Amino acid sequence: MTKIPVSVVIITRNEETNMPDCLGSIKDWAEEIVVVDDDSTDKTREIAESLGARVFQRKMDNEGAHRNWAYAKATQEWVLSLDADERVTPELRQEISALLAAGTEHAAFNIPRRNFIGDYWLRYGGQYPSAQLRLFKRGSFRYEETYVHPRAFLEGTSGGTLKGDVLHYSYRDFAHFLTKLNGQTTLEARKWVDDQRKIGLGKALWKATDRFFRTYLRKQGYKDGFIGFMVAIFAWLYQIMSYAKYYEITKGIKQGAGSGEQGKI
């Protein structure tokens, strides 16, 4: 198979179960694969190297800075940003190949994603096409250097959204969803504090309720049945958990040290 002049950049941490399928979807056609690993304790790095990736090790400080550092390791003109729990479809590969062969005046393109819980494809609730800016010219794109949900900055024009999908195996099951939600809300609360946001319980409840109804009704999450309902519940819970952790940080919940004393708020 002819190689496509693109660097696929992947950031990882303990992704040994995902690496074979992720790299298997790109290794035969991508000119370069760059893996930046955040101190994995499993065989992530060994598997990546065995499948032809250039592997670098870096401790993640925040998501935006970490991704920008990883993109700087690419050597090809075009970069495809991929996560370890994602796979490139043959249709997307063919589309990227044709696009780069023909040339383009644009600096970046969005790519739609099919998000999954287990083997269930979430078609509603804002989960599809869920396009993100993932294909871009090296040096033209960077993220805001913040903990979670960094903003994207592009020098040049966007060519819109491609048709081919990335398969995103987001969550193994509901328990995995909650585990990731716990980590994400910790980062979200830290971001609120760092940005000096003033958020009260009333605002947090309003935002949580708004997210539930937007996900379940306006974005038709109900069409995904019970799974869609749970996704809307998790959208509600994201705001509540973020606020609880924000409250904990800003109000200084403390625990008595070794005395059995109740923590004071």
Per-residue model confidence as pLDDT tens for the chain (265 residues): 899 999 999 999 999 999 999 999 999 999 999 999 999 999 999 999 999 999 999 999 888 999 999 999 999 999 999 999 999 999 999 999 999 999 999 999 999 999 999 999 999 999 999 999 999 999 999 999 887 788 899 999 999 999 999 999 999 999 999 999 999 999 999 999 988 999 999 999 999 999 999 999 999 999 999 999 999 999 999 999 999 999 999 987 655 545 444 444 3
57, 152: one domain = yes
HSE-CB at 130 with a 13 A cutoff on CA atoms is 19
Question: Any residues with CB less than 8 A from the CB of 253 and at least 6 apart, and which?
Answer: 247, 263, 264, 265
Which residues does residue 81 pair with via DSSP β-bridges, in sequence order?
9
Q: What are phi and psi of 254, to 5 degrees?
A: -125, 150
Q: Which domain holds residue 209?
A: 173-251
Are 133 and 166 a contacting pair, CB within 8 Å?
Answer: no
Same domain, 110 and 218: no
Helix 174-194 and helix 225-251: axis angle, to 10°? Answer: 40
Question: Where residue 88 sits, what CATH number does that domain have?
Answer: 3.90.550.10
Calculate the CA 124 to chain-centre distance. Answer: 18
State residue 1's pLDDT score. 80
pLDDT at residue 234, rounded to an integer: 98
Same domain, 188 and 61: no
CA-nearest of 63, 85, 75 to 15 is 85
Helices (H) and strands (E) in the chain, counts: 7, 13
Q: Does residue 215 share a domain with residue 100?
A: no
In eight-state DSSP terms, residue 254 is B
Domain count along the chain: 2
pTM: 0.90
191 with 122, same domain: the answer is: no
Q: DSSP for 145-182?
A: -SSSSPPEEESS-EEEE-SSPEEEEEESSHHHHHHHHH
